[in-house]
Amino acid sequence: MDTSPSDAELLARAAAGERAAFEAFYRRHAGWLVLRLRHRCDDHAVVDDVVQETFLGIWRGGAARYREQGDVTGWLWRIGSRRLVDALRRQSAKERLRQLMTRFRGGPEPSAEDVVLRGVQHGDLAGALARLSPELRAVLQATVLDGLTTREAAVLLGIPPGTVKTRAMRARRQLRQELA
């Protein structure tokens, strides 16, 4: 007869602050969660970070959110898979920003956008963009050239969405004044 506590019991005890119960829950579930997430993502470092974030969130109060409705493993998988999606979005956004900044600084191969922006066909657009502050230019590049939403640009740039909107408005106003 198995006398080990159920997952729901371990979560309830972990929610009450019992470290040993949380550690038992972690040992029981971390291995399969890592394996399943690695089927979705080849980057082992990202998966390891996601698993740690998942269990850290459970330790910091997430255990109390389990309401014994459905299987604990399904609940844990939903948390882990959502965190993986968020991590991949952040990673993708950061990589896009890195590429964008490399291009703007005159990287090895200019993009089509850079060629147009540097050209004289559009007046002094290249000069007007160059005169923007780096913060305003980064917001324009993220939202206009990369086509990111305000929320995605906020995550990418590490600023609140309201700040993205304000900087975009200021950048457009400054460009209109300079190109008028």
How high is the mean pLDDT in each 10-residue block of the chain (180 residues)? Answer: 77 83 90 87 88 86 58 81 82 66 57 52 70 89 78 82 94 85
CATH 1.10.287.70 applies to domain 7-91: no
Contact call for residues 146 and 100 (beta carbons, < 8 A): yes
Overall CATH class of domain 110-179:
mainly alpha
Provide the residue ranges of all domains of the chain, joining segments of one domain with +: 7-91, 110-179
Contact call for residues 139 and 130 (beta carbons, < 8 A): no
Buried b (16+ CB within 10 A) or exposed e, 131-164: ebeeebbbbbbbbebbebebebbbbbbebeeebb
Output the pLDDT for position 96.
61
Output the pLDDT for position 34.
92
The pTM (predicted TM-score) of the whole model is 0.49
Output the pLDDT for position 37.
87
Q: How many CB atoms lie within 10 A of CB 109?
A: 7
